[in-house]
A and B are shown apart, each in its own frame.
Chain A
Amino acid sequence: MSKVIDYASALPPLPAPDYLHDGTGLRSWLLTVDHKRIAVLYMISLTFFFMVGGIAALLIRLQLLSPNSTLMEAETYNRMFTTHGVIMVFFFLVPSIPAVIGNFIVPLQVGARDMAFPRINLLSWYLYVIGGLITLYAIISGGVDTGWTFYTPYSSLYANSKVVPTVIGIFISGFSSILTGLNFVVTIHTMRAPGLTWGRLPLMLWSLYATSIIFILGTPVIAITLALVGVERVFHLGIFDPKMGGDPVLFQHLFWFYSHPAVYIMILPSMGVVSDIIACFSRKRIFGYGFVAASSIAIAVLSFLVWGHHMFVAGESVYSAMIFSFLSFFVAIPSAIKVFNWTATLYRGSISFETPMLYALGFIGLFTMGGLTGLMLATLAVDVHVHDTYFIIAHFHYIMVGGAVMGYLGAIHYWWPKITGKMYPDIWGRVSAFIIFIGFNLTFFPQFILGYLGMPRRYYTYPEEFQMLNVFSTAGASILGVGYLMPLVYLLWSLKYGKPAGPNPWGATTLEWKVSSPPPKHNFASIPLVTEEAYDYTKEPTNAA
């Protein structure tokens, strides 16, 4: 056991430079193994991919402005929503919070100097970027038109587009997910600071742990499944080819075995963020901490039991459909538990409304709506009607954009002072949160009605009676676009002009706020000793700055 030098008790200023200034130049970034720098690399690349996906979304909405729009041909439109779905899911939302925020704060919150495997961490960023570039290449050099779901035999035999490079890209980025999950699990298990028992873990870590379980056990299945599609296209294995006696529905089983749990990959981290933010801005311990923590694990496990609810009318057997419907309702319960506990946390709190809190509150409302419409989809007879209509589109955008993206933005705003050491202008944050909320609802609420009226998804042209609602939706999307651009502007602005944040601008209790902002290279000069329960807000705020 080496002797620990306690820099924290040494005289200020700290001798160690913060991680942003410890080495400059491209090399020091591209070859870094510091989890914080890797997080920043992720943040930049994810923002880029979000832009690409968002521009595709805007083009989709523009096309749908009128029923017989000539903006895009059928082929172009099909490539557009595939690009949108693939980029948003695999290259933005799945990695979003884990890779950016998780990479940044997991070691800080467990009280460690880095991840358990820093080099693997860097490798996972490279895998992500390589996968993303290959997919971008596919999109630019001809595009993919299978939808993000790659259903066979269309994708394996009929599609006349760049399916193979796309699946290779997703395959590679899948390993990035796996390695990130692996790193989190090992780090959380073996590197917690002394005294930081499971019962004291911030809820963010619980949900990242749950997310990692899905990364580890689900991602390999999508990898092999998409690999099979690629191999089938190139070598023709016959596995998904009905002419060879193959069963195209098998693909759907394998696809959703990952892709349903994947939707919880997208939402669980946001739930963790919301838990941390709500506790911080109401200065209260999360109500029912144990239940909120356990429900994360419950969601992760149950999420693997329900994938067949995407296939109720796909030709799976009636009995199987009933089993999957039944199980689907159980996964709603832990989500409900979380929502109720967050609400109860506000009770008798001391609530303030800085930007992160606005996102967290917005999350609660929109996630609830998205989740409750999920119940309608899990109900067999209703799903028969709304399957593959805009009702589905509305359901998942409510959860993924209204929920997960809100959570991501909330997290960015919450940890921005820690990551950069600078404060952004809070008023602009509030305004943009408000605009996003309005734009979002205007975009996606009409789609519930459209869907129930029967407008199928993936249509570049549609019957005229659906136009009015589509116009609302497109109008909303423009507002939403503006809302998303604003943070980009004022956050970048704050890098240069923002006020120094100090170690703990929000008066939060988790460990990352106990080091300076931005944190020094190896986080803690000496490994901290944790003696407090989680979210102990009874003490005086600690931000001296």
Chain B
Amino acid sequence: MPHSNHPTRNPHLAEQFETLAQQREAGTLGMWIFLATEVMFFGGLFTAYAVYRHRMPQGFQLASGEYLKETWGSINTAVLLGSSLSVALAVHAAQHGMRKLLVWLLAITLLLGGAFLLIKAHEYQLEYHEGVIPTLRFTYDGPHANEVFVFMSFYFTLTGLHALHMLIGLALWLVMLIRAWRGHFSAAYYAPIEIMGLYWHFVDIIWIFLFPLLYLVR
């Protein structure tokens, strides 16, 4: 390790890099590439969704209108957009080395993300009682029963996968919060916050599409 013990070497600079700028650029680029894979990951599902929406227009309309809670969905969208704002502000705070503000904003983000998941859970619960959870409890056998079934399958797969991403995000935010609390970040070093921010905004964007595609099928 020729470098790590060198007195002038920045402690945040990993061995394989020459400069902090290079390291940071690699991190950002890496996250964007990761997000590209995420787009394709959800993209496979979106494609399947599109095919079935094309094949089963009535059932999709019916299920969306009858069983998805548009109000809760809208509220949740707002909550998530709010958390995106708090993240954007958190990154801003980090850039300017405002530790206290950063901690606060991360806490707000965690709260909003948690609220989103709670609301989602509440919706799932309602759907359970209505008996429209495929396989687990599906009692609907009115018109277009198969199509409603398939729509609900997509709904749970898509929102479930999204919720999983939220959970991962929240866990990572918690780590960031603790690190921020302990003063790991400064105006000179805040790349992890920034890169996590990218991830979070991405999860938000997925929801921005899920909301009309699932809740507002007309």
Contact = CB atoms under 8 A, between A and B. Distances in A.
Q: Are A and B in contact, CB atoms below 8 Å, in the complex? A: yes
Interface of A: 1-3, 5, 7, 16, 107, 112-118, 178, 182, 185-187, 189-191, 216-221, 223-225, 228, 231, 235-239, 243-247, 250, 253-254, 257, 521-522, 525, 527
B29 interface: yes
A247 B48 CA distance: 10
B134 A238 contact: yes
B149 A244 contact: yes
A186 B33 contact: yes
B130 interface: no
A254 B150 contact: no
A246 B3 CA distance: 59
Interface of B: 1-3, 6, 8-10, 13-19, 22, 25-26, 29-30, 33-34, 36-38, 40-45, 47-48, 51-52, 55-56, 134-136, 146-147, 149-150, 153-154, 157
A365 B85 CA distance: 59
A147 B157 CA distance: 26
A216 B6 CA distance: 36
Nearest to A255: B44
A216 B150 contact: no
B44 A220 contact: yes
Given A244-B150, A245-B150, A224 B30 contact: no
B146 A221 contact: no
Contacts of A235: 134-136
Contacts, number: 127
A246 B150 contact: yes
Nearest to A107: B16
Contacts of B18: 1, 527
A154 B71 CA distance: 40
Contacts of A522: 1-3, 15
Contacts of A525: 2
Given A190-B25, A238-B150, A224 B33 contact: no
Contact of A221 (B25, B43, B56): B43
Given A115-B16, A522-B2, A525-B2, A221 B41 contact: yes
Given A116-B16, A244-B150, A236 B44 contact: no
B135 A236 contact: yes
Given A3-B8, A113-B15, A228-B48, A186 B36 contact: no
Contacts of A7: 2
A322 B26 CA distance: 42
A224 B34 contact: no
Contacts of B147: 245
B154 to A, nearest CB: 8
Contacts of A221: 40-41, 43-44
A501 B34 CA distance: 39
Given A219-B37, A220-B38, A191 B22 contact: yes
8 contacts: A1-B19, A5-B6, A113-B15, A116-B30, A191-B17, A217-B36, A220-B38, A224-B41
